Amino acid sequence: GEAAAPGTHYALELLARKCMMIPTWNLAADLLLMTPDNELQLVKLCAFYPGCTEELNDLREKCKLPTVEECMQLAETA
């Protein structure tokens, strides 16, 4: 029910943090995508990802975030 929603969202966020290991990063993204107002958590997830640029771009695409290259262009423009 709606009364349980905030607790459920918090539980999903905590579970996603536990999944921030190489084999389960995509699971962490899936869990965070189920929560509202998740952009900051998704950015943190991608910021801590230890893989190569190609893998990071795949994760960023899944999280609906710009690629590394797009971020570099935005930073240069700013």
Tell me, what amino acid is at 75?
A: A
pLDDT over threshold 60, residue 15? yes
pLDDT for the residue 7:
85
Find all residues with CB under 8 Å of 66, minimum gap 6, and list them: 60, 74
Tell me, what amino acid is at 27?
A: L
Q: Are 24 and 45 in contact (CB under 8 A)?
A: no
28-60 residue pLDDT tens:
999 999 989 999 999 999 999 998 999 999 999
The two three-digit tokens of residue 30, written as one number:
């899936």
